């Protein structure tokens, strides 16, 4: 009955649990990983999210609904985990090794630096950044996922990008014989 | 699209969990107890509705009887007050009559 209704409404029918796990495990795991910055904690969180899905499978109406649900629960579980463990980056930003070669998108050192910088953000801006740059969601979708006004999402994005530009720029100052990344990166949006 | 955007997208690219992740999740899910959606069970839902209706019926009838008794009590009290009032009036009349007779003697 539910499948027929979904078909009529143009929704994709709900796949079985194993297919849902295979289809979305990278998304759920990556949200947790990028949020908590700890691989084993992220795997544990992702597993918990899928177990919660297994218990709520009867409430899922379509594949899209399940994907949205997983994204939302993954973010909220990650925030809860961070609150419980009072997570802070295990290596301080000052201790993180700086790149010795000119940084460019695709550079693993630069990527790690950016991930650490985002991990140092407060809970909500961090979630906004993960959803924006991992899931490529627009501010309206992020607002719906996190249950906050679109204006707040935009403000978090803007402030986080300013902070990233400042800190990433400071890490790659020309004085240290390295390119000024903030200048190279140019303006955002 | 700026280079910072590109760098962030690159940094936040999705990653796969460990190779045995799917198997671990499926094993854990197989061992997990399904959520007890007791309120959703149709038989139990009807039973709960019937029990609730019974409680409401019994409660309602008890309340109705209590109100009836209260009303009867109020009525009886009013009748008693009236009877006492009549009796008092008659006693007063009798006393006046006796006093008049004594005064005539």
Cα angle at A72 between A160 and A74, to 5 degrees?
85
Residue B35: which of A30, A55, A104 has the nearest Cβ? A55
Number of domains in chain A: 2
Mean pLDDT of chain A: 78
Determine the structural domain holding residue B60 and report its residue range. 3-104
Same domain, A78 and A120: no
For chain A, the farthest-separated pair of C-alpha atoms sits apart, in whole angstroms, at 67
Query: In sequence order, which residues have a C-beta less than 8 Å from that of residue A37 and are 6 or more positions away?
Result: A87, A89, A90, A115, A116, A119
pLDDT band at A170 (very low <50, low <70, confident <90, very high): low
- Residues A16, A63, single domain; the answer is yes
Of A85, A116, A145, which residue constitutes the final position of a domain?
Answer: A85
What confidence score (pLDDT) does residue B33 get?
A: 65
Domain at A43, CATH number:
1.10.1740.10
Count of CB atoms within 10 A of residue A158's CB?
Answer: 13
**Could you give the CA distance from residue B94 to residue B97 in angstroms, rounded to a whole number?**
5
A113 and A75 in a common domain: no
Give yes or no for a contact between A35 and A130, defined as CB atoms under 8 angstroms apart.
Answer: yes
- The answer to whether A29 and A42 have CB atoms below 8 angstroms apart is yes
Indicate if A22 and A54 belong to the same structural domain.
Answer: yes
CB-nearest to B15 from A30, A104, A184 is A30
- Token output for B82: 């009236």
Structural domain boundaries enclosing A13: 2-85
The pLDDT > 70 percentage for chain B reads 90
**Chain A neighbors of B16, CB-CB under 8 A:** 25-26, 29
Q: Say whether both A81 and A112 belong to one domain.
A: no
What pLDDT is attached to residue B39?
63
Residue B79's pLDDT is what? 96
């Amino acid at each position: 009955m539910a499948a027929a209704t979904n078909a009529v409404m143009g929704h994709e029918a709900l796949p079985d649990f194993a297919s849902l796990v295979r289809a979305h495990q990278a998304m759920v795991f990556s949200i947790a990983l990028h949020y908590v910055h700890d691989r084993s904690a992220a795997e544990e969180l992702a597993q918990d999210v899928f177990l919660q899905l297994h218990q709520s499978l009867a409430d899922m109406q379509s594949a899209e609904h399940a994907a949205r649900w997983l994204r939302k629960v993954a973010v909220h579980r990650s925030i809860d985990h961070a609150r419980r463990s009072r997570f802070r980056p295990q290596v301080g930003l000052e201790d993180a090794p700086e790149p010795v070669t000119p940084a460019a998108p695709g550079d693993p050192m630069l990527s790690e630096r950016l991930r650490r910088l985002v991990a140092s953000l407060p809970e909500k801006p961090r979630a906004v950044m993960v959803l924006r740059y991992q899931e490529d969601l627009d501010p309206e979708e992020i607002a719906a996922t996190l249950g906050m006004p679109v204006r707040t999402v935009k403000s978090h994005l803007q402030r986080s990008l300013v902070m990233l530009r400042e800190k990433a720029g400071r890490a790659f100052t020309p004085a240290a014989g390295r390119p000024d990344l903030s200048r190279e990166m140019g303006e955002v949006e | 699209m700026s280079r910072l955007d590109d760098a962030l997208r690159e940094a936040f690219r999705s990653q796969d969990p460990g190779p045995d992740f799917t198997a671990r999740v499926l094993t854990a899910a197989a061992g997990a107890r399904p959520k007890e959606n007791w309120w959703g069970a149709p038989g139990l839902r009807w039973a709960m509705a019937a029990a609730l209706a019974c409680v409401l019926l019994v409660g309602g009838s008890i309340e109705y009887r209590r109100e009836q008794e209260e009303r009867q009590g109020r009525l009886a009290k009013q009748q008693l007050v009236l009877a006492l009032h009549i009796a008092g009036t008659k006693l007063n009349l009798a006393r006046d009559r006796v006093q008049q007779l004594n005064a005539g003697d």
